[in-house]
Amino acid sequence: MKNVLVCWIGITDLNAPGDPEHVGLGPIAQAVQARSYDEVVIVSDYPEFKVSNYIKWLRDQTPSEIVVYYVKLSGPTNFGEIYETAAKVVNSTLQGGKENISLTFHLSPGTPAMAAVWIILAKTRFPAELIESSRENGVRTASVPFDISADFIPELLRKPDKRLQNLSAGLPPEAPEFADIIHRSQIMEKVIVKARRVAPRSVPVLIEGESGTGKELLARAIHKASPRRSQPFITVNCGAIPAELMESELFGHEKGAFTGADRQRIGYFEAADSGTLFLDEVAELPLSAQVKLLRALQEEEITRLGATQPIKVNVRIISATNSLLLDEISKNRFRPDLFYRLAVAVLHLPPLRNRPGDLSLLIDKLLEQTNRESKEEPGYVHKKITPSARNLMLNHDWPGNIRELQNTILRAAVWSGGSSIGKEDIEDALIPQPDEDRSDLLNKALGDGFNLLELMKVLAQHYLKKALGEAHGNKTKAARLLGLPNYQTLSNWMKKYDIK
């Protein structure tokens, strides 16, 4: 019988070769030294250059054969992708010798989502021993006090109905804290389900999304739905603080710590103690501040500037960014160890153009809000939106997302003299977006950087998005608007030109 250990690789493993005395061996090396395996199969979401030194070091720790699968996940908590990837790796491992292989899944390396998927696989498709490890308790078999039906889990992962979705997510029957996030699209429903699931826990949350998509609104809803709801919610705009003041703003300072420090001041961490600290535009943090933030998160303590004694703090971190932090990491502008500390739970807020059915709801809600907030202003008349104005708004791309939509409705309410907001009022209220690539496409100078394929891509993307907007996401209708033979052809064009 061939004994095979299968596991993800985690940040603790990667740190082990540099300082095993203080960091420890890490879960994987600890397991292979405590138990005998013929083969160790490692699944890595990290790039190969970050893992190669560790694999070389691990081969010195064990005689076991080591196999590494490099994969790419959109996020470390995406259950669907993790499940699919893990199942493929195990299937590949079992090829040609399923009856003669004894599987062990290691729960400790990687994210909680990865551990949950190993439990699901071990209880359904691939019977396996589950192990866990720690520096304090060593390596031991994990006791899982429940079983999961092999028929129930695949259906749960495919398309659960509303009741099963709530049960599987461990959600309460209602979550009024999320009521202000107006939506009916499936893509936003998935985001809300994930947010409701993570809200009761204290794990860090990273919210990604374009500017204006409502990241702070979602962060506040998570805080209000958490056990910390009665404690402070402190917002920090990381892009608005000068680099030289960042440490003082985050951690505070003592009187006399620097020129101008005429009194003691507590920082944002202390102000948010027992509550939630929302780090908006976290990608804008300078590298020097990233190092100190990482240490504060690891040690759960901060030291004011000019002080010698650290202060324990209990803070939940929710961070947000309108850029992809993995791209910032590849450009050496963001520390990978801080990213994996912040990105325990990752939520992707879709842009408004990718939320079919939500725009009309938002128009009504934001107009109602504008009428309510403006009713006390002298001369203000309650406004309604005409069908032509609504149609214009439904066909707009909204590159500024909900913030742009809200500001446009407010401006149109000001511009309109009567009780109706017409098409002309919306046209006046829309701020033109710079779009040099689409302007004058038929009169570009040839040569000197001219690229016909790129121009065709710009044109195709523009009209594909426009048709899908006018058709409210109906592919058959959009294909007809574009003069395409059928919706399959439209789908092929969308794939070719990267239209989600």
Condensed to tens digits (0 to 9), the pLDDT of residues 196-250 reads 999 998 899 999 999 999 999 999 999 999 999 999 999 999 989 988 889 899 9
> How much is the pLDDT for 268?
95
Angle at 206 between CA 115 and CA 303, to 5 degrees: 100
Res. 71: pLDDT tops 80: yes
Average model confidence (pLDDT) across the chain: 85
Integer Cα distance of 393 and 408 in angstroms:
10
> How much is the pLDDT for 496?
85
Q: Which of 168-172, 212-216, 275-279, 441-445 has the lowest mean pLDDT?
A: 168-172
Residue whose C-alpha is closest to residue 464's, from 423, 441, 498: 498
> How much is the pLDDT for 163?
42
H or E stretch at 170: none
Integer Cα distance of 204 and 333 in angstroms:
21
What average pLDDT does range 53-61 have in this prediction?
92
Res. 172: pLDDT tops 50: no
Angle at 229 between CA 226 and CA 231, to 5 degrees: 130
What average pLDDT does range 30-59 have in this prediction?
92
Does the predicted model carry a pTM greater than 0.75? no
Domains in the chain, ordered, with CATH? 2-153 (3.40.50.10770), 172-350 (3.40.50.300), 353-429 (1.10.8.60), 441-496 (1.10.10)
> How much is the pLDDT for 467?
85
Integer Cα distance of 104 and 146 in angstroms:
18
More confident residue, 450 or 100: 100
CA distances from residue 237 to 241, 264, 296, 335, 405 in whole angstroms, order as listed: 7, 22, 18, 19, 22
Contact 168, 83 (CB under 8 A): no
Res. 345: pLDDT tops 70: yes
Instruction: Look at the alpha carbons of 249, 255, 258, 259 in this order and tell me if their dihedral is positive or negative.
Output: positive
Number of H helices, E strands in the chain: 22, 15
More confident residue, 244 or 153: 244
pLDDT tens by residue, 8-18: 999 999 988 87
Residue whose C-alpha is closest to residue 111's, from 256, 12, 190: 12
Res. 433: pLDDT tops 80: no
Q: Percent of the chain having pLDDT more than 70?
A: 88
Integer Cα distance of 71 and 74 in angstroms:
10
H or E stretch at 41: strand 39-44
Integer Cα distance of 410 and 408 in angstroms:
5
Res. 418: pLDDT tops 50: yes
> How much is the pLDDT for 283?
93
Using pLDDT thresholds of 50, 70 and 90, give the confidence band for residue 342: very high
Res. 155: pLDDT tops 70: no
Both tokens of 157, joined, read 């992962």
Res. 411: pLDDT tops 50: yes
Res. 462: pLDDT tops 60: yes
Look up tokens 């807020």; give the residue. Answer: 349
Question: Judging by DSSP bridges, how do beta strands 2-8 and 101-106 pair with one another?
Answer: parallel
How far is CA 373 from its chain centroid? 33
Integer Cα distance of 310 and 253 in angstroms:
12
Integer Cα distance of 475 and 466 in angstroms:
12
